[in-house]
Every structure is written in structure tokens, then in C-alpha cells.
A and B are shown apart, each in its own frame.
Chain A
Amino acid sequence: MNRRQFFKLCASSTATSAISALGLLPGKAFAAVREFKLLRAKETRNNCCYCSVGCGLLMYSHGSNGKNAEKSIFHIEGDADHPVNRGSLCPKGAGLVDYVNSPNRNHFPEVREPGTNEWKRISWNEAFGRIARLMKDDRDANFIEKNSDGTTVNRWLSTGMMTSSAQPNEGAYITHKFARSLGLVAIDTIARN
């Protein structure tokens, strides 16, 4: 139970229960100064995912880094060692913990079937299988091996890709290899935008 929840509990009991219920609360529940919350928390270095200043981050997650603790990030602050930001962060960076833990994160592969109005949870295997099927059908039907001059062009124009500009280089390179090996030309990135 964190401090806020504790307050809420106190408040709800104030509103709903009798004097005696509150009388049971320990007299010295909290010290005047809050405990420093990062002691011994697992610290990981990272870089901000927003703009290209590339500020250094220190991310703090629950657990000792032991195998049984599910690490989840509860605090992110600037890395004072980083030569560019020297510990500082802009408001977006300072609020990163709520981005990582956003209630709007996607959790599972889902599909929306044509004409329907809802998501259906599917397995990764099903997702990969269905996407590959759709791709192959389209590629086999619309792949252009030679242009009108007879030059080998090997392009596939009826499928395209809008790629991420926040994933690491390594993911981006995999993306590039994936796309070009299939013959995709129409790949673009939000670098233009």
C-alpha cells in the first residue's frame, strides 16, 4: 500500500466509519520526512524516447534484479553523468514514467475483422500466420518482376510500410532488410514529418 492509497483509506474511513475505527490507527504512522524511495531500487540507464536531444535517463524499477521480481519502472529521472542533459529533463521527459506505464498500452495481439466493430484477441502464432498469408497472396498477385523495358525491377507496390523513428537502429535495420527482401519500395518514415 502506498502513501496515497493509505490517505484514501484514512479518508474513506473518516467518511464512513465511527470514531473508534480511526482510533485504531497507529499514532506514528509516518515520519515527518518521507523515506527516500530509490534506496536499493534497480537502476537502468537509458535515453529519452521523445526528441533527438538524446537525454540520458536513470530508470528505477521494483525488485533487486533477482529472477523472481517482475521489474516494473516506478521512477525515471535525468542522468547527471550525461554530458548533454546533465541530469535535467524537459516536462515530457520528466513525465516518462507515465508514458511507460500508460493505461493505453497494447498488451496482446488483436485483430479487427472486416466490417466488425471490435477487437478480438489472438495468439502471436495466429497473427503471424494470418499476416503472412495476406502478404503472400498480395505479393504473388501484384509483384512486378520486369518493367515495360524488360529490366528486372522486382518490386512490390501494392503493400507499403510506414516505419518507426523511435525504435533502435538495430530494429530499423531488421525492418529495412525485411522490407527490401520482400521487394517493398514504398517504405517511409516519419522523418519526413
Chain B
Amino acid sequence: MHKQNKILRHKLFDRICHWFVVAVGLVAFLTGFGFFFPSFQWLGAIAGTPQMARFVHPIAGLMMCLPLMLILVRYYHHNKWEKNDLKWMLAIKDVMFENEDKIPAIGHYNPGQKVLFRTFVVTSVVLTVTGIMMWQPYFAPYFASAAIEWAILLHAVCAVIMLIFVIVHFWMATWVEGSVAGMLYGSVSRAWCKKHHPNMLNDPKLKTIKQEKH
């Protein structure tokens, strides 16, 4: 394959963070999903025993949430709400059905991604806080039963919301081909940008890279 100039979308550090979050998030999901739907307890078998799954889950959860929050801090500037965003949202149907000419131009992230961002902010914080409250045997004994009960409920609600948004994230990332590669290798093509995030090209800090291989 020929060398080509690409546009830097994700820095190495962020990519490492992202894939780390994916990896431990997967562990947290597999070990935690069974708590909510006990019929799927077998998913936790990756930890060895259900007891080990219970032991691993809060650690994996914390290992997921902390880098995730770091990414979120680092990506905050990409996710400020902009003028066009509302128009884009209203044109969501066109987005989904690829009526490209009808989609308002957006920047580094589209409003859908910004919603995802906000959801992750909220859920990761809530999951961390409630998770610590219900963490046996280290922290739970310091909280009242009623508080822990509500924490369990909130934790579940947030976990489900996060899971749904992760599914959407996954769905979109795999649908919009080139996105996964972008997160893997950091760069996307100029055309990809033009199609999906045209305003990104207007960014004065835009960086391009030369790649040996695709």
C-alpha cells in the first residue's frame, strides 16, 4: 500500500487509554453483568469462579472508570456544545440513513457523540461512587444499609445506561468504517473527515501524519 497523509484524530496516549478502558471494561462487564442478570453468571467464569468474579469486578470497574474519566477530561474541549449541534440532532434521521447532503456540518465530534460523552461522564462518576459504597468488605461497612440499597439501584441503572451507550458506541464505530481504525492507529483520512467531521479540517491545530502502512 502506498504511503498517504492522514489526519491525526486520537493521540497515542488517548488510544492506549481507550483500549485499556475497553479491555478492563470488558472484564468489568463480564464479571458484573451476572450480578444484574444472574442467569448470565457464566460470563463471570472468565475470572475463574463466581467468587473471584465478585472480587475482580470492583477492581476492574475502578480500573475502567479512572482512565475513562481521564479521557473525558482530555476530550472535554472537543465536546462543547456548538451552534450547529441542535440542527444536527434534528437531522438525526438523515444521519442514520446517510442522507449526507442534509446533515449539518459538525466538528471533531458530532452531537450524538457529545451526548455519549456526557453520559459517560455522569455514569462513570456515579458508578465509581456507588461502587465504592457497596464494595464489600472494604467500604460497605461504613455506609448505612439504606444508602447502600440506593447505591445498588443507582449502580445498576447507570451500568445499564452505560452498557446501552457502549452498544451504541460500538454500533456507530463499526458502522462508520474507518472509525475503529482511527482509534486503533490514531489517524483518519482527509475524505473520512470531510464526510463525517468536516469542520475538523478547519481546525488550525489540525495535525497530519505520514503512515507507512495502512
Contacts and interface: CB of A to CB of B under 8 A. Distances in A.
| Interface SS, B side | helix
Nearest to A19: B48
Contacts of A23: 48-49, 52
A129 to B, nearest CB: 59
B53 to A, nearest CB: 10
Contacts of A25: 49
A10 B47 CA distance: 15
Contacts of A10: 51
Contacts of B47: 19
A165 to B, nearest CB: 48
B55 interface: yes
A14 B47 CA distance: 12
Interface string B45-89: 001110110011000000000000000000000000000000000
A22 B55 CA distance: 12
Interface in B9-65: 47-49, 51-52, 55-56
A20 interface: yes
B48 A20 contact: yes
Contacts of B56: 19
A23 B53 CA distance: 11
Contacts of A19: 47-48, 52, 56
Interface residues of A, number: 7
A18 B115 CA distance: 40
Interface in A1-50: 10, 14, 19-20, 22-23, 25
A23 B55 CA distance: 14
B38 to A, nearest CB: 16
Contacts of B49: 22-23, 25
A14 B49 CA distance: 10
A20 B47 CA distance: 8
A33 B52 CA distance: 23
A159 to B, nearest CB: 60
Interface in A40-75: none
A187 B51 CA distance: 64
Interface in A90-115: none
B55 A14 contact: yes
B129 to A, nearest CB: 26
Contacts of A14: 51-52, 55
Contacts of B51: 10, 14, 22
A14 to B, nearest CB: 7
A10 B48 CA distance: 13
Contacts of B52: 14, 19, 22-23
A82 to B, nearest CB: 44
A139 to B, nearest CB: 66
B31 to A, nearest CB: 11
B46 to A, nearest CB: 9
A19 B45 CA distance: 10
A14 B50 CA distance: 12
A135 to B, nearest CB: 61
Interface of B: 47-49, 51-52, 55-56
Pairs of residues from A and B, 9 with the lowest C-beta to C-beta distance, nearest first = A23-B48, A19-B48, A22-B48, A22-B49, A22-B52, A19-B52, A19-B47, A25-B49, A23-B49
17 contacts: A10-B51, A14-B51, A14-B52, A14-B55, A19-B47, A19-B48, A19-B52, A19-B56, A20-B48, A22-B48, A22-B49, A22-B51, A22-B52, A23-B48, A23-B49, A23-B52, A25-B49
Given A23-B49, A23-B52, 4 more contacts: A14-B51, A19-B47, A22-B49, A23-B48
